[in-house]
Amino acid sequence: QVQLAESGGGLVQAGGSLRLSCAASGRTFSRVTMGWFRQAPGKEREFVAAIFRSNGGPYYTNSVKGRFTISRDNTKNTVYLQMNDLKPEDSGVYYCAAAPSIILSSLYDARNYDYWGQGTQVTVSS
């Protein structure tokens, strides 16, 4: 069992930066793949980034490549999403998710993640 709690969201102007954190409980954090998803109003939840349990990867959706960086600290049971050069289209609720068992081809589908945080709002103004 893994419990997740995101933090770090907020309101930022376009071009600004935010760093999201996701703290995990449980002793199995180092064994799970961690992902970040986001959901804008009226849209489906979409994959943003993921990192395998041994820091394998990382993997990003094309729209954030070069701007976002996912990382994890297994000693702190925490995964991070550093977001730079933010754009209004990056706005939404950001969720972290954990998958104890997942393969590369399944990373991008939210249905393959077993545990979810409550989400943190990111709003980018133009």
Residue 59: how many CB atoms within 10 A of its CB?
18
Mean pLDDT across the chain: 94
Helix %, strand %, coil % for the chain, to 5? Answer: 10, 45, 40
Provide CB contacts within 8 A for 78, sequence distance 6+.
Answer: 21, 22, 23, 24, 72
Confidence of residue 27 (pLDDT cuts 50, 70, 90): low
pLDDT at 72 over 90: yes
pLDDT of residue 107: 92
* Half-sphere exposure (Cβ direction) of 16: Cα atoms closer than 13 Å: 15
For 85-95, b where at least 16 C-beta lie within 10 A, e where not — what string?
A: ebeeebbbbbb
